[in-house]
Amino acid sequence: MIEATWELIAAIIGIALVFDFTNGFHDSANSISTVVSTKVLSPRNAVVFAAFFNFVAAFGFGVAVANTISTIVELNVVSLAVVPYIVLGALIGAIAWNIITWFFGLPTSSSHALIGGLVGAGISAAGLAAIRWNTVGTVALFMVLSPIIGLICGFLFMAAILWLTRKANKQSAESHFKRLQLCSAAAYSFSHGTNDAQKTIGIILPLLFVVGYAGVGTNPNHLLVPAWVIIASYTTIAFGTLAGGWRIVRTMGYKITKLRPVQGFAAETAGAVTILGASVAGIPVSTTHVICSSIMGVGTTMGTSTVKWGVARSIVIAWVLTIPISAIIGFAAFAVIRVIIGY
- What percent of the chain is predicted at pLDDT more than 70? 88
Categorize the per-residue pLDDT at 206 as very low, low, confident or very high, splitting at 50, 70 and 90: very high
Summarize pLDDT for 220-250 with one digit per residue, the tens: 888 999 999 999 999 999 998 888 655 555 5
The separation between CA 82 and the C-alpha centre of its own chain, rounded to angstroms, equals 26
| Contacts of residue 254, Cβ cutoff 8 Å, sequence gap at least 6 | 37
Look at residue 189 and tell me if it is in a domain: yes
Q: Tell whether 239 is covered by a domain.
A: yes
pLDDT at 299: 83
Domain that holds residue 67: 6-341
Q: In this structure, is residue 186 part of a structural domain?
A: yes
Asked if pLDDT for residue 86 goes beyond 90, the answer is: yes
- The dihedral region occupied by 37, where left means phi > 0, alpha psi between -120 and 50, and beta the remainder, is alpha
Look at residues 154, 183, 190, 210 and name the one whose alpha carbon lies nearest to residue 4: 210
Q: How confident is the model at residue 82 (pLDDT cuts 50, 70, 90)?
A: very high
Would you list the DSSP string of 80-101?
A: GGGHHHHHHHHHHHHHHHHHHH
The predicted pLDDT at position 327 comes to: 95
- In the prediction, which pLDDT does 255 show? 55
- 30: pLDDT confidence band, cut at 50, 70 and 90? low
Q: What is the pLDDT of residues 278-306, one digit of tens each?
A: 999 999 888 878 888 888 888 888 776 65
Supply the pLDDT for residue 292. Answer: 80
Q: Which of 63, 319, 311, 41 is nearest to 193 (CA)?
A: 63
Q: Is residue 1 part of a domain?
A: no
What pLDDT shows up at residue 328?
Answer: 96
Domain count, the chain: 1
Closest CA to 326 of 176, 136, 173, 119: 119
Identify whether 193 is part of a domain: yes
Please determine, for residue 273, whether its predicted confidence score (pLDDT) is greater than 70.
yes
244: left (phi over 0), alpha (psi -120 to 50) or beta: left
Residue 256: pLDDT above 80?
no
Of the chain, the percentage scoring pLDDT greater than 90 comes to 42
Q: What is the chain's percent helix, strand, coil content, to nearest 5?
A: 80, 0, 20
Return the ∠ at Cα 76 (arms to 123 and 112), rounded to 5°: 45
Give the model's pLDDT for residue 118: 95
